[in-house]
Each structure stands twice: as C-alpha cells, then as structure tokens.
A and B are shown apart, each in its own frame.
Chain A
Amino acid sequence: MNASPAQRTLTIMVAVALAIGALITAFPFLWMLLASFKPQREALDFPPTLLPLAPTLEHYVTLFVQLDFGRYLVNTLLVVAISFLGLLIMAMAGYGFAKFEFRGRRWMFFLVLATMMIPVQVTMIPTFLILNAMKLTNTLAGIALPTLVSGFNIFLFRQFMSTIPDEMIEAARLDGAGEMRIFVSIIVPLAVPIFAVQAVLTFIAGWNSFLWPLIIANDQKLYTLSVGLSLLNQQLAVNPSLQMAAAALMVVPMFVVFVIFQRHIVQGFTLSGLK
C-alpha cells in the first residue's frame, strides 16, 4: 500500500498501541520470572519490589530436592511419549480413510467427525468409570489413553494424505511392496510436514495435560507437572516465590518450544480454523 505520511503516522501509532498491549499480555510472565528469583520474604513484601533485591535460585533447587518435581517431570515426558504413539495411530487411520475404499468407511468417518463435537467435560465421569472397570486408574496408560486419538487430528491427517497421488501407491504395489511397507516407506516420509505440525501441538497438549492426570492419578508417584503444581496452590500465603519457580518450570520450556517451532504452531492453529 502507498505510504503517505498520514498512513505512516497511523502505522506507528498502531505499532505503539500493539506494543503496549503486548507488554500487558506478557507482564504476568515477567512478574512470574522475577518473583521466582526473590527470597521468600521479599516476595511477600508490600509494597512489592520489581527486580529481586537478592536474587536466589533456592526455589528451583527446592522443587527438585525437597519436592518431587523431578519425578513429575519424568511422568509428564512419559505422557508426552505415549501421546506420540497416538500420532502414529491417527496417521494410519488418516491414510486408511484417504486412500482405501472399504465397507463401513462412510459411517466410520462420520463417527470420527461426530466425536469432534463431544466435549471432555461431558465424558470425564463415564470415561473414569470405563478406565476404572479396565483397571487402568492410577496408571500412566490410563492418563494418556483418553486423549490418545482425536477425531480432529485424524481428519487433518486424512486431508493431507488425500493429496498424495494414487499413482505413487499403485506403482509401489506393482513393484510388490506390501501395504504396511508402502505406509512406512512412502506415506510417512511424504507426510512429514503434517507430522511436524501435529507433533508440536501434541507436545504442548501433553506437557500441559491436567484434567486426566488429576482424575486418574491418585498416587503422587504418577503426578504430572500440572498436578504437582496445583498442589502448591495452597502454599500461596506462605511462599509465592516457590510457586512462581514451579510455574516458570512449566512455562519457560513452552516459550522455548514456541520460539523454535513458531511456524508449525501457527500453521497448526490455523488449520484448526478450517475444520
């Protein structure tokens, strides 16, 4: 667009307004980081200090030494790892729906779409009862299973796989390749872009997962970071800087993931706007 002086002034004003908005949006995170380095007493001070007067790492040490955050971290990563298995299952299903004609395809795909509309708060009680009947409560598998596959992600995989030319698959069949071999050595490599997007979103969802660990894990040994963090909730009056350190432990890795994979995350969210 032509940049007349008036236009340029307006753009600068917009930039300033957006910058102020961005600072306000990001401020709670900044406050969290600053407070996490304050000694306990300073974090309770009124009026509050902006920068820590005597910065300390003691709260981060406490999280791992006195509290069980090392274990929560491992559990969280295990939940994420199991979720990645779900990614493969969904990719297979997407391929099946995109490239095969078979009996029951229509109603099965309808089922996939229908489950997109069912909210988790509606199914949490019965799903707990089902997992309980399967003796999976209080296991990591039980925490990961309810969210392992989602209709929406299957749909995305299907959309992507539909764009792969049939001729490639036919040629491989003529060469005598088995169906599983075709999937592993032709389809998966071609689907790397959609895998990348979904892997990042799966990581974020798994890292932040809260509801299912909360419902399924009774044993502290199985707590994820979110659940461990929510236990610190009662501590606010006593030690806010410890809480802020724990919150930072959850949030900062997400910043890093975001900075590295920004393009994939934005693309993934944008795709979710197309459903």
Chain B
Amino acid sequence: MTRRLAPYVFVGPAMLLLATFGVFPILVAGLVSLTNMNLGGLARWSNIKWVGLSNYAKLFRDPDFWQALWNTVFFVGLGVPCVVLLSLGVALLLNRSQGPFFRALRAFYFVPAITGIVAISLVWSYLYNTQFGLLNYLLSLVGVKPVQWLSDPTLAKFSVGLVAVWRGTGLNIIILLAALQGIPRDYYEAAALDGANGWQRTRFVTVPLLSYALFFVTVTTLIGWLQFFDEPFVLTDGGPLGHTTSVSLFIYKEGFRGSQFGYASAGSLVLFVIIAAVTLLQLRLRRRDLE
C-alpha cells in the first residue's frame, strides 16, 4: 500500500458506512416523502407514485400530528428544565467533598443512565400499576385513592416524563461534575478572601465558570427530548388516546405500523428541520452571549 493510497484505505470503510446510513437516508427521506410509498411500494417499486407535496399538506391537516407536536413541546418544556436543574443541583452537592462516601454515592446517580430503556420501563410499569403497584400502595397509606398513573391522559404525561427525567440526569451529572472539578481551587480561595460566602461562591464563581458545560448539557438535553421516543413507546405506546405520543413515536407508528412510508418520511423531515432550527438558534444565542 503506497503512502498516497493509505489514507483512503483507512478512511474509506467508515466513510462508506457513514454516507450510507448517515447522509443518504436524509436524501431518501426527501424523495420518499414526495411519494405514496407503502407496503405495496415496498414489494414493487413500480407501485410507487409521485404525489408532490401532498404528504406535507396532509401532515399539517392531521390532528394526530398536531397532538404529537404539542405533546413533544410539553415534554420538552417539562423535561429539559427538570433534567438540567436536577443534574446541576446533584453535581454541585456531589462536588462538595472528594471523600470516599461521596464518590460511592455517585455510582447510584449514574446507573440509570446506562441501563436499557425496556428493562427500566417494565420496572416503572410495575411501580405504576393501578391495582398492585407500589406507588398506589404508598398513597393508600396516607389515605389517597388509587391513581391511574399511565391511563389518565394528563397524569400519564407526567408519569412518562418522570421516568425520562430519572434516566436522563445521570449522564449530565457526570459531565457537570467533570467540569466542576476542572475549576481551579485558587478561584474559590480568592473569592473567599474577598469575603464571599458559600452561596455567593457558587453563584458568582462556579455557575459562570460552568456556563460552557451547562450550555452543552442544555443543548444535548433539548435535542434528546425533541426526539423523545423510548419511554412513551414502552410505557404507554403513546396512549391513552395519543396523549403521550411524541413526534418520533408518531413517525414510527405511521411508518412501521401503518406502513405509510411516504407520509412518515414527510414527518421525519419536519422533525429534522425543527431539531436543526432549534440547534442553530441555540448556537447563535450562545455566540451572542460570548460576544
């Protein structure tokens, strides 16, 4: 292998895979979204017809899509602040001491982040169960009647969101904790000499120095919640009556249950545009913040 050829041999396989499963799908989604592709089209490509933008027109008239969109907005509005604030709080507390007890505690907070969503959902379904779930038992101890955790339309949103918050904090705690430990001790000592108390040191030294990590955590959390899928898929399958269906779940159901690949692809592209727009907006705000 010559030295000129070598880099292509090294980079080639990965680029081929990335192109096929990273970039090409977006183009395919764009094309398929302009067709009526369904199971018939999957079997024989000659059954596929161009339908122009009618999938998009239908999408924006579809009450189910709007419901999924508003549900997603609700989940983002509930989940992102909860996850970011909770992660920040726990990370600040964990950073108070480097002793063995604090280090051991970290593991408890991290573990939900690395366990599979299906297992987690089963465990929470059991806790949430109306008849024999532990949560309703605990409520009955204080005289509260059984609660329909996953079948009451409003409560189900919160129940599903809670599981996602519980699972989503661990990763962010790790990132924030690493950033906290990167802050030089001198800064705190200087602030202490200037007479800053503990709260002031946190407020005026730690939080500003943490702003990059916080920004990163907020962006990734936001993107994650815009794609919200796993928890409602396993816990409620989007129910009751679509009240926990997110946009991702809507796409999945239209595509794989309804086999409306053209229609679902239109939904995919709309989701892609929303995520790209939100990401760019945040980066723009961040830049203005820095200037």
Q: Which residues of A contact B (CB under 8 A)?
A: 1, 10-11, 14-15, 17-19, 21-23, 25-26, 28-29, 31-32, 35, 43-48, 86, 89-90, 92-93, 95-97, 100-102, 105, 108, 111-112, 114-115, 117-130, 132, 145-146, 148-149, 151, 154, 173, 178-180, 183, 204, 207-208, 210-211, 215, 225-227, 229-230, 232-233, 236, 240, 243-244, 246-248, 250-251, 254-255, 257-259, 262, 265-266, 269-270, 272-273
Contacts and interface: CB of A to CB of B under 8 A. Distances in A.
A243 B17 CA distance: 37
A32 to B, nearest CB: 5
A117 B279 contact: yes
B15 A93 contact: yes
Interface string B128-153: 01011010010010000000000000
A123 B25 contact: yes
Contacts of B111: 25-26, 29, 254-255, 258
B178 A270 contact: yes
Contact of B261 (A102, A129, A148, A173): A129
B119 A18 contact: no
A208 B137 CA distance: 31
Contacts of A247: 118-120, 122-123
A250 B96 CA distance: 33
Interface in B1-52: 1, 3-4, 6-11, 13-15, 17-29, 32, 37, 42
A226 B118 contact: yes
Given A11-B96, A122-B29, A129-B42, A28 B10 contact: no
Interface in B244-291: 248, 251-252, 255-256, 261, 264-265, 268-269, 271-272, 275-276, 279
B125 interface: yes
Most B CB within 10 A of own CB, among A90, A233, A255? A233
Nearest to B264: A125
Given A18-B90, A148-B17, A250-B116, A244 B137 contact: no
Interface string B92-121: 011011000110010111111111111111
A79 to B, nearest CB: 13
Chain A interface, >50% SS class: helix
B209 interface: no
24 contacts: A14-B96, A21-B90, A47-B140, A92-B9, A102-B7, A111-B18, A115-B22, A121-B268, A122-B271, A123-B29, A125-B268, A129-B32, A130-B20, A145-B17, A148-B17, A148-B21, A154-B18, A204-B114, A229-B118, A244-B126, A248-B119, A266-B178, A270-B174, A270-B178
Main secondary structure on B side of the interface with A: helix
A227 B116 CA distance: 11
Nearest to B86: A21
Interface stretch (B55-63, B77-85, B227-235): B227-235
A100 B116 contact: no
B166 interface: yes
A128 B120 CA distance: 26
A244 B122 contact: yes
Contacts, number: 291
A18 B18 contact: no
8 closest A-B pairs by beta carbon, nearest first, are: A96-B10, A93-B14, A100-B7, A22-B108, A115-B22, A208-B116, A273-B175, A126-B28
A250 B118 contact: yes
A244 B123 contact: yes
B137 A48 contact: yes
Contacts of B26: 118, 122-123, 126
B196 interface: no
A162 to B, nearest CB: 14
Given A210-B116, A226-B118, A247-B123, 18 more contacts: A47-B140, A86-B17, A92-B14, A100-B7, A114-B23, A119-B223, A125-B261, A127-B25, A130-B25, A148-B17, A173-B3, A179-B9, A211-B230, A225-B116, A233-B121, A250-B115, A254-B111, A273-B216
